[in-house]
Structure formats: structure tokens, C-alpha cells
Amino acid sequence: MHLYDLPIICVLVGLALYAVLGGADFGAGFWQLTTLPVARGSGERAERARLIREHAHHSMGPVWEANHVWLIFVLTVTWTAYPRAFGAIASTLAVPLLLAGLGVVFRGIAYALRSGTDRPSELGVIDTIFSLSSILTPFALGAMVGAIAARRVPVGNAAGSLIGSWTSGTPVLVGVLAVAISAYMAAVYLAADAARNGERELAEQFRHRALGAGGVAGIVAIVGLPVLHAGAHPLYHRLLDGPGLVGVAISVIGGLSTLVLVAIRRFEPARVSAAVAVAGMIIGWALAQQPLLLPHLTLRQAAAPHEALVVLLIAIAMGAAILFPSLAFLFSLVLRGHFDPGHVAQDAPASPRAVLAASSAGLFARLAVAGLLGGLGFLTAADAPWAHAIGVVCLLACAVFAFVAVDPTGLAAGGDASS
């Protein structure tokens, strides 16, 4: 293990978390799509379809933004630690990257729009956009992974084929697999959520979907073997009778146990085993591909200078120390059902207290003026950097004191503006 190996491990962990958490979000969009044809009109089927869509939508609620930051994390760590590889990947794979980006845009905007309506016709349009982009983005990102795995991204500025690099067998296969896995993960998660809420029927429906999608994902993986053999021969060998085999094994075991757990309705452990299956796949790919990142570019050659890596790793460690407790807080609130419909905290009655005494406003106004004068002197008139620092602090203090002195809520409560 070398220093330049550590960032790629962070990247892969980020990728796995994105595939698991973000993937489940994308998959929820996928399941919304499958209900759209029956969602119009009334009757029991339509009502059930509507429930499925609402459930899929609601369960993403508080977490989707956080889930998608994993993608940002993967990108930024890659471009800091392996800048040459990043430049090559992003320029040669500009088209799928753009498609993924457009998917992100339309997904996000559809998500934001949903709060503006509850009319079925408008919801239908919005959910359609949401679902289609939920398929486009994982496909495009998967195709990018496939193109890298199939060694179709040469080093250099847009040196590979703009279209051919990601439309051959292996990239398309990985893209499709990404969509199938997303759907599978989502169905498992949504079944677990529904079971937790005590919605038996909904849980059953997602249980069926999970079994179906799990089967499909398995078939895609098996059908993919000949494709891989033809299109990415080195990868194929290193996956199946080389270092990648460990990952493949983990993945197969994880996938099969998830199917069993779902079948016997043990949804919570199934969440975990599904995640293990995805992680196994990524481990397998990484082991099969190393030490090459791109053709003729090893990790070592791609890596940024030593000090950049050290500082990056320290930053990641410090960031993780804040991030994981916060994530744990968020997910514990979600998983304990705090955000489920109908959950209300006991509203402690607020104890009214006196508003700021009017007489102190004059004091704060004078402090604000003092801050302003300090700013004028240290920031505007003086030239030394240390004086500028004092000047900025004076101005910020001025702003805070002025705000207290203005007391806008008191101002609004007072005289009538029209008088």
C-alpha cells in the first residue's frame, strides 16, 4: 500500500455509497415510471399506483440531497488526487457526462416542482420527467464506468472516441446493470420503509418488485459475461480467475442472500446485504483493474504530488469525522420514522419574553457607528494587510450591531406604515 493508493480507496468507498444511497433514489424514480400508465383515471388500480408513487417520492425526501453529494465527493477527490486521469476521463467521456448532467438537472427540477402541485395531471408530467431522468443518469454514469473498465479512455485531452468510447458492449452493459441495480436497491428499501410504517400491502408490492428486479439484475450480469469476454478481455480474466474474483464472490453472495431475505420478508437485513452486493461489485472491478487507472497510466503516474495527497487525505479524515456523525443523525431520524407522515413532536409552548429594551437600541447604534469608523480607518485609509483584517472585523461588527439597533421586527410591529 502506497500513499497514492489511499485516495482511490476513498473514491471507491464514495462510489459504493453513491451507488447504494443515490442508486436507491434513482431506482425510486424508476418505480414511479412503472406505475404511470395506470395512474390516470380512478379505480383501485390507479389508487394503488398513486400510493406507490407517493411512497417512492416521500421516502427520498429528507435524504436525497445528501445522497447525491457522494457524487461530488467522488469527482473532487479524483480530480485532486489523480488530475491527469480526471482530465482524460471527463473530456473523452464528455457526452455521457453531459447526459448524466442533464439527467441530474431534470430530476432536480422535477423534484422541486412537485411541491407546487397536487393536481394529478401536473403530477403525471412531473413524475414522468423525474422517472426518465432517473433512468438516464445511472445509465450514463454506468456507461462511463464501463468505458473506463473496457480501457476505452486514453490519456490526453479528449483523445478517445467521443461516441464509440461509451457505446460499445461493455459500457452499455454496465449502464444497463446500473439501472437494474438501482431499481433493485430501491425496491428493497421501499419495501423496508413500507413495512416499518405498517403498510403491509405496499410492502408486499415492493417485495414483488424487489424479487423481479433482483432476478433481472442477475440475468443481466450473467448475459454480460460473454459481452465482457468479447469487449474487455483483460478485465474479464482478472475478474473471473484473477484478483477480482473475491469481489465477484462477495457480490454474488450478497445478491443471493438479499433475494432470500426479501423472499422471507426480512427487509431490514436485506438492506444491508443489498449494499454488500454492490460494494462487492466495485471491489471486484477495482482489484481487476489495478494498478492501471487508464491504459498506459498507472495510479502512481496519475497521482498528484506527494504533499497534495497528504493534505487531501488529512482533509478527508477531518471531514469524515464531522460527516459521519451528522449522517448518522439524519439517517437515525429517518429510520426511526421521525419524518414519516403524521409524526409530531410535543410542541413545548413557547414562553413569551420581553422584547429588547428600547433604551439599549441607542447603545447599539453607537457601537455600529464605531464599527463603521473603524472600518473606514483600517480598511479604506490604511494599506497594511493586518490593518485590513481589523477593518473587516470592524465592518462585520458594525453590521451586527446595526441589525440589533434597527430591530426590524420591533419596527414592523410598531407604527403603521400607511399613517
Partner 1 sequence: MQTYLRQASQMQALSFTVHIPLVCFGIALPAIIAFMEWRFLRTGDELYRTLARRWTRLMAALFAVGVITGTILSFEMGMLWPGFMSRFGGVFGLGFAIEGFSFFMEAIFIGIYVYGWKRLKPRTHLLCAVPIILAGFTGSLMVISVNAWMQHPSGFKLVHGRAVDVHPLAALFGNSFLWNELIHMYLAGYIVTGFVLAAPYAIAMLRGRRGRYERTALAVPLAIAAIVSPIQVLVGDWVARDVATEQPTKLAAIEGLAHTTRGASEHLLGWYENGQVKFGIAIPKLLSLLAFHSFNAKVQGLDAVPASQRPPINITRISFQLMVMIGTALAVLGVWFLFMRYRRKRLPDTRWFYMAVAAAGPLSLVALIAGWIVTEVGRQPWVVYKVMTTTQAVTDARSVPVGYAALAIAYVLVAIGVVWVLRRLSAAPLDELDGAPAGTPATAGA
Regarding 329 and contact with partner 1 (CB under 8 A), the answer is: yes
Nearer to partner 1, 112 or 225 (CB): 112
Of 102-110, 146-154, 232-240, 241-249, which segment contacts partner 1 by CB under 8 A? 102-110
Nearer to partner 1, 5 or 54 (CB): 54
Nearer to partner 1, 125 or 263 (CB): 125
Tell the smallest beta-carbon distance from residue 80 to ligand HEM (Å): 12
* Helix orientation angle between 267-289 and 120-149, rounded to the nearest 10 degrees: 30
- One of 1, 157, 384, 386 touching partner 1 (CB under 8 A): 157
Nearer to partner 1, 230 or 411 (CB): 411
Residues between 114 and 133 with contacts to partner 1, criterion CB under 8 A: 114-118, 123
Tell me if residue 153 falls in helix, strand or coil.
Answer: coil
Is 16 in contact with 279 (CB distance < 8 Å)? yes
Residues between 39 and 58 with contacts to partner 1, criterion CB under 8 A: 54, 57-58
Tell the smallest beta-carbon distance from residue 315 to ligand HEM (Å): 17
Regarding 89 and contact with partner 1 (CB under 8 A), the answer is: yes
Nearer to partner 1, 260 or 315 (CB): 315
Nearest to 236 by CA among 281, 283, 289: 289
Nearer to partner 1, 245 or 382 (CB): 382
- One of 56, 100, 180, 232 touching partner 1 (CB under 8 A): 100
Tell the smallest beta-carbon distance from residue 66 to ligand HEM (Å): 8
Nearer to ligand HEM, 72 or 112 (CB): 72
Regarding 148 and contact with partner 1 (CB under 8 A), the answer is: no
Question: Residue 95 is inside which H or E element, if any?
Answer: helix 94-113
Residues ≥6 apart with Cβ < 8 Å to 185: 20, 23, 24, 27, 274, 275, 278
Tell the smallest beta-carbon distance from residue 269 to partner 1 (Å): 25
The item of ligand HEM, partner 1, none sharing an interface with residue 312, based on CB under 5 to 8 Å by kind, is partner 1
Nearer to ligand HEM, 69 or 387 (CB): 69
Regarding 326 and contact with partner 1 (CB under 8 A), the answer is: yes
Binding track over 371-390 against partner 1, x by CB under 8 A: -x--xx--xxx-x-x--xx-
Q: Binders of partner 1: how many residues, by CB under 8 A?
A: 117
DSSP for residue 151: T
Residues between 260 and 289 with contacts to partner 1, criterion CB under 8 A: none
The item of partner 1, ligand HEM, none sharing an interface with residue 408, based on CB under 5 to 8 Å by kind, is partner 1
Q: How many residues does the structure list for the chain?
A: 419
3-state helix, strand, coil in the chain (%, to 5): 80, 0, 20
Is 15 in contact with 76 (CB distance < 8 Å)? no
Q: Which residue has the cell 482530465?
A: 87
Residues between 332 and 361 with contacts to partner 1, criterion CB under 8 A: 333, 338-339, 341, 343-353, 355
User: What does the DSSP assignment read for 244-274?
Assistant: THHHHHHHHHHHHHHHHHHHTT-HHHHHHHH
What does the alpha-carbon distance between residue 156 and residue 179 come to, in Å, rounded to a whole number?
Answer: 30
What does the alpha-carbon distance between residue 105 and residue 130 come to, in Å, rounded to a whole number?
Answer: 10
Question: Residue 207 is inside which H or E element, if any?
Answer: helix 200-231
Residues between 287 and 316 with contacts to partner 1, criterion CB under 8 A: 304-305, 307-308, 311-312, 315-316
Nearer to partner 1, 55 or 238 (CB): 55
Question: Residue 294 is inside which H or E element, if any?
Answer: strand 292-294
What does the alpha-carbon distance between residue 414 and residue 267 come to, in Å, rounded to a whole number?
Answer: 57
Residue 303 C-alpha cell reads as: 497521482
Nearest to 260 by CA among 210, 298, 308: 210
Nearest 10 degrees: Cα torsion 291, 294, 299, 304? 180
Regarding 416 and contact with partner 1 (CB under 8 A), the answer is: yes
Contact footprint for ligand HEM (CB under 6 A):
65, 68-69, 72
* Helix orientation angle between 6-17 and 267-289, rounded to the nearest 10 degrees: 140
Tell the smallest beta-carbon distance from residue 304 to partner 1 (Å): 3
Nearer to ligand HEM, 65 or 122 (CB): 65
Residues between 176 and 215 with contacts to partner 1, criterion CB under 8 A: none
